[in-house]
Amino acid sequence: MKRKGMLVIISGPSGSGKGTVVKNLNPQKGYALSISLTTRKKREGEIDGKDYFFCSKEEFIKKRDQNELLEHAEFCGNLYGTPKSYVDSQIANGKAVILEIDVEGALQVREKFNDCVLIFLIPPNIQELRNRLVGRNTEDSLTIERRLTRAEQEVKFIYEYDYLVINNEIEKTVESIDAIIEAEYLKPHRNIDDIENFNNN
């Protein structure tokens, strides 16, 4: 029987390692990874259409106003949003669609679909967050401070999430996320056809 698709949102402070986690999810699980639109400048090594769809503020606003985004948010001076058409088509195909988005966007999605799975990722401690942000050397010191301030605000929303994963070791984190998704697939409301089949035969 075809599985019902689902939206899986992974949030966490900048430096929590969620980008790396998402890149390391098991390709055999067939998850669909949503690629966001952003006005942020491309970092060294990032590829347009793979890491993000990079665009101007005007293009972003046009898409937002044409209702092409499932959610959108401003994060440390840049705009980010999730293209709606990809998410809709993958959910219709029964896929678990992974959105790696901030808290503001996650709460917008939950308002629209109460049937989504929200996972919050944090490193073992706040010092580790700073170390990761400084260590990856992708932002200047002002941006790092802004992102750390934002991290403090985002962490206050942990209790709005369904699951908390401490990202200590990448393999374990990936295993935990796989386990969460597997368990979510087994929830009765995602298996209504099987229940009907059981009752009618």
| Residues engaged in binding ligand 5GP (CB under 6 A) | 14, 36, 40, 71, 73, 75, 80-82, 100-102, 104-105
Nearest distance, CB of residue 49 and ligand 5GP, angstroms: 14
Rg (CA), the chain: 18
Nearest distance, CB of residue 112 and ligand 5GP, angstroms: 13
Q: How distant, in Å, are the alpha carbons of 72, 91, 165 from that of 79? A: 7, 24, 26
Residue 85 vs 197, nearer CB to ligand 5GP: 85
- Residue whose CB is nearest to ligand 5GP in the complex, by number: 105
146 contacts: CB under 8 Å, gap ≥ 6? 76, 77
Residue 59 vs 196, nearer CB to ligand 5GP: 59
Nearest distance, CB of residue 166 and ligand 5GP, angstroms: 17
Nearest distance, CB of residue 114 and ligand 5GP, angstroms: 18
Amino acid letter, residue 56: S
Residue 96 vs 121, nearer CB to ligand 5GP: 121
Nearest distance, CB of residue 115 and ligand 5GP, angstroms: 19
Q: Give the whole-angstrom CA distance, residue 74 versus residue 85.
A: 21
The residue assigned the tokens 């999430």 is 161
Nearest distance, CB of residue 79 and ligand 5GP, angstroms: 9
Residue 19, Ramachandran bin (φ over 0: left; ψ between -120 and 50: alpha; else beta): alpha
Sheet arrangement for strand 32-33: 32-33, 96-100, 6-11, 116-122, 163-166
Strand, helix or coil for residue 102:
coil
Q: How distant, in Å, are the alpha carbons of 50, 140, 179 from that of 145? A: 27, 9, 34
